[in-house]
Amino acid sequence: MKQTQAPLHQWISEPLSGEVKKALLRLQRTDDVEHIAVMPDVHLSKDVCIGTVLATNHTLYPDAIGGDIGCGISAIRIGGRTDWIHKEASMAKLLRELQHSIPVQKHHVSQIPDVPDVLGDWPLSSPSLENQKSRDGVYQFGTLGRGNHFLELQVDESGDLWWMCHSGSRAMGQLIRKHHLHYAVASNTGLMGLDTRTIEGKSYLCDLQWALIYAEESRREMLRRATGLVESMFGMWSEASSYISSHHNHVQYEEHEGRFVWVHRKGANRVERGEVVCIPGSMGTMSYHVSGRGEKASLYSSAHGAGRAMRRGEASQKISTKSLLKQMNGVYFDMRKAPRLRDEAPDAYKDIHAVMRAQKKLVRIVRRLRPVFSYKGV
For residue range 3-43, list pLDDT tens digits in order.
789 999 999 999 999 999 999 999 999 999 999 999 999 99
Q: What percent of the chain has pLDDT over 70?
A: 100
Determine phi and psi for 33, rounding to 5 degrees: -80, 120
Q: What is the pLDDT of residue 100?
A: 94
Kindly report the pTM of this predicted structure.
0.96
Q: What is the pLDDT of residue 112?
A: 86
DSSP lists the bridge partners of residue 226 as: none
For 37, 79, 175, 251, the CA distances from 264, given in Å and listed in that order, are 10, 36, 19, 4
What is the Cα–Cα distance from 152 to 147, expressed in whole angstroms?
14
DSSP 8-class letter at 68: S
DSSP 8-class letter at 308: B
Q: Are 279 and 351 in contact (CB under 8 A)?
A: no
Closest to 48 in 3D by CA, of 69, 65, 31, 29: 65
Determine phi and psi for 363, rounding to 5 degrees: -140, 160
For residue range 175-188, list pLDDT tens digits in order.
999 999 999 999 99
* Residue 152's pLDDT band (cuts 50, 70, 90): very high
Q: Are 344 and 371 in contact (CB under 8 A)?
A: no
* Amino acid making up residue 354: A
DSSP lists the bridge partners of residue 9 as: 37
Strands (E), 2-149: 8-10, 33-43, 50-56, 59-60, 72-79
* Residue 303's pLDDT band (cuts 50, 70, 90): very high
* Amino acid making up residue 252: Q
Q: Are 245 and 76 in contact (CB under 8 A)?
A: no
Q: What is the mean pLDDT of residues 118-132?
A: 96
Q: What is the pLDDT of residue 110?
A: 80
Q: What percent of the chain has pLDDT over 90?
A: 96
For residue range 340-355, list pLDDT tens digits in order.
999 999 999 999 999 9
Report the mean per-residue pLDDT for the chain.
96
Q: Are 141 and 218 in contact (CB under 8 A)?
A: yes
DSSP 8-class letter at 219: H
Interior CA angle at 270 toward 265 and 274, to 5°?
A: 170
Q: What is the mean pLDDT of residues 125-135?
A: 96
Q: Are 106 and 141 in contact (CB under 8 A)?
A: no
Q: Are 185 and 194 in contact (CB under 8 A)?
A: yes
Any alpha helices (H) in 60-185, and if so which ranges? Answer: 88-101, 117-121, 127-134, 136-139, 170-181
DSSP lists the bridge partners of residue 196 as: none
Checking if the pLDDT of 306 tops 80, the result is yes
Which CATH number does the domain 22-280+293-305+358-376 belong to among 3.90.1170.50, 3.40.50.2000, 3.90.1860.10, 3.40.50.720?
3.90.1860.10
Burial label for 1, CB within 10 Å (0-12, 13-18, 19+), is: exposed
For residue range 57-95, list pLDDT tens digits in order.
999 999 999 999 999 999 999 999 999 999 999 999 999
Neighbours of 312 (CB within 10 A): 14
Checking if the pLDDT of 1 tops 70, the result is no
DSSP 8-class letter at 194: E
From the centroid of its chain, how far is CA 256? Answer: 24
